[in-house]
Amino acid sequence: MLEEKVDRIDRALSEQKAMIERAALAGRRPGLSADPMLSEHKSAWNAYLRRGDLSALTQFEAKALSVGSDPDGGYTAPPELDRMIEQRLRQVSPMREIATVRTTGANVFKKPIGLTAAGTGWVAETGARSQTSTPTLALLEFPTSELYANLAATQTLLDDSFINLEEWIASEVEEAFAGQERDAFVNGDGDDKPRGFLDYDLVAEGSYVWGKIGYVATGADGGFGTTPVDKLIDLVYTPKTQYRQNARFVMNRKTVSAVRKLKDGDDRYIWEPNDAGGSTLLGYPITEIEDMPDIATDAAAIAFGDFARGYLIVDRAGVRVLRDPYSAKPYVLFYLTKRVGGGVQNFDAIKALKFGDT
């Protein structure tokens, strides 16, 4: 009897151990995608990139009722590649770090803006309420323009199953896209590209009106003048209080070099390192953007303000890829397009320092 009891206990323990091991093994096994459609798209996309196999991709897009899948214009990449490119651009594009970024499904992003506040007033509990004035509204439009890159790959690279092609594509377009974006967000004229904040009309702050960028003049032709620190302080206090709370300076590295040498009346540098490993100027952080103009006659070489509230970047969802194995044999070309727009959304939030007499 005792031996039978011991056997039963031993079998029960063995079964329990086996159940625990199976559960642990299942936990380590890579799970399938919760969305079969996404898994199907990714598999079809990989076959298209590596072998140019369109059968699975066209069948998927037909089932998904996808728009914009014309073979002449390329195929829409999975959302993972779009997010990967956006994340990489954010890391290397200073304006994407400090501005507001919105994603839209349309070619034009429209945003209503209140130019004047609605009428308000104080009144007693039972007092008569007079009719208040309505706010003045304006509609800002931010069209997206096509940004493209043409990548070349060898068939050996495509045949290597250990190469993550989406990661390779994202890394290749990272610097190409970022360089184009940096210049457009600062100096772009809005013609088939985003409109940069320095492309808008610059007016002396005393004549500032909505739709233009106000500036403070240094009082010296192409230089800081005799009171450079005072001019920087004037620039800091040009935006209203609500725009100074999250404000920052923007300039290129040559201007940074000049500003770092400025001292106050007690012969102390006004450029201060902070605990986070960065630096501040008059208590505000600095963002280096190479496409800002150098210090020169009438150049707006320094900008200041709350760029998150002042500048808007618009990304149209979706990256399109056209695979071309014919134009540059033995290489396979990948033609990528992405639609991006941008412009000033609040002209009160960004001000400039102009290196001129007036």
Q: Whole-prediction pTM value?
A: 0.80
The angle that helices 36-51 and 165-187 make with each other, rounded to 10 degrees, is 90
Asked whether 306 and 247 are in contact (CB, 8 A), the reply is: yes
On whether residue 230 sits in a domain, the answer given is yes
On whether residue 104 sits in a domain, the answer given is yes
On whether residue 11 sits in a domain, the answer given is no
* Angstrom distances, CA of residue 303 to CA of 54, 188, 203, 249, 354: 49, 16, 14, 6, 9
**Helix, coil or strand: residue 62:** helix
Kindly give the confidence (pLDDT) of every residue in the chain, 358 residues in length, as a single tens digit, with 9 standing for 90 and above: 555 655 666 666 666 666 665 555 555 444 444 455 556 777 788 888 888 887 766 665 554 444 445 555 678 888 888 888 888 888 888 999 999 999 998 899 998 877 776 677 788 877 777 776 667 777 899 999 999 999 999 888 888 878 888 888 888 888 889 889 999 999 999 999 999 999 999 999 999 999 999 999 999 999 998 899 999 999 999 999 999 999 999 999 999 999 999 988 888 888 887 766 678 999 999 999 999 999 999 999 999 999 999 999 999 988 889 999 998 888 999 999 999 999 999 999 999 999 999 8
- How many domains would you assign to the chain? 1
Asked whether 168 and 144 are in contact (CB, 8 A), the reply is: no
User: What is the rounded CA–CA span in Å between residue 201 and residue 225?
Assistant: 24
Phi, psi (deg, nearest 5) at residue 205: -55, -30
Closest CA to 350 of 95, 27, 112: 95
Domain containing residue 310 = 72-115+135-358
On whether residue 164 sits in a domain, the answer given is yes
On whether residue 43 sits in a domain, the answer given is no
User: What is the rounded CA–CA span in Å between residue 346 and residue 308?
Assistant: 10
On whether residue 206 sits in a domain, the answer given is yes
Q: What is the CATH number of the domain that holds 270?
A: 3.30.2400.10
On whether residue 271 sits in a domain, the answer given is yes
On whether residue 37 sits in a domain, the answer given is no
